[in-house]
Amino acid sequence: MAMVLNSKLPVVLNALLVVLLAISGVCLVSGSVSYDHKAITINGQRRILLSGSIHYPRSTPEMWPDLIQKAKEGGLDVIQTYVFWNGHEPAPGKYYFQGNYDLVKFIKLVQQAGLYVHLRIGPYVCAEWNFGGFPVWLKYIPGIIFRTNNGPFKAQMQRFTKKIVDMMKAERLYESQGGPIILSQIEN
């Protein structure tokens, strides 16, 4: 059975990959990662990477090593995970990154297993998660319209996204810093 792809999909994927890899670079996992305008390359060779999702807040930190190992044994190269805004910022400016929400610990465990990370920052994650991962307090911001070119929404989204990106950079988790994150994505 032939598979029909949306004709815009390759263009969108190429644009997304260029932007995402621009904030990445060289991973200890298996070498130099780049993008050649057609494909991801590792050590100069085009690769098709197999990925699967592990949503870190849906399990305990004690479960993470086994989940990651099973993903690796199943043939995955990349673990993709959402960043759940409502779990990390339950109140405006009040951040939580402990327990099931210890994003840095989760990513470091993926790196220790020799896998890459595709970090899906959101802000909207869907993922069958309450309110799509948006914090409830967000809807009370005057004039906000979610997932649009709306000033109040963009200001809040950019603030949270910057918080996550800066945290990943501070921990040296982007591929250009020797970390496992080869892709970062905003929006679902």
Per-residue model confidence (pLDDT) at position 161: 96
Position 122 in a domain: yes
H or E segment to which residue 64 belongs: helix 64-73
Per-residue pLDDT averaged across 105-130, rounded? 92
Higher pLDDT among residues 178 and 42, named by residue: 178
Instruction: Give the chain's domain count.
Output: 1
Residue 29 exposed, middle or buried by CB count within 10 Å (0-12, 13-18, 19+): buried
8 CB neighbour count, 10 Å cutoff:
8
Q: What is the CATH number of the domain that holds 134?
A: 3.20.20.80
Q: Is the pLDDT of residue 149 over 50?
A: yes
Per-residue pLDDT averaged across 75-92, rounded? 96
Higher pLDDT among residues 1 and 67, named by residue: 67
Per-residue model confidence (pLDDT) at position 42: 87
Higher pLDDT among residues 43 and 104, named by residue: 104
What's the pLDDT band for 107 if we cut at 50, 70, 90?
very high
Entry pTM:
0.81
- The rounded mean pLDDT for the chain is 85
Position 24 in a domain: no
Position 148 in a domain: yes
Q: Is the pLDDT of residue 28 over 50?
A: no
CA angle in degrees (0–180, nearest 5) for 56-78-10: 115
Full residue range of the structural domain in which residue 61 is found: 49-186
Q: Which of 10-14, 35-39, 122-126 has the lowest mean pLDDT?
A: 10-14
Position 30 in a domain: no
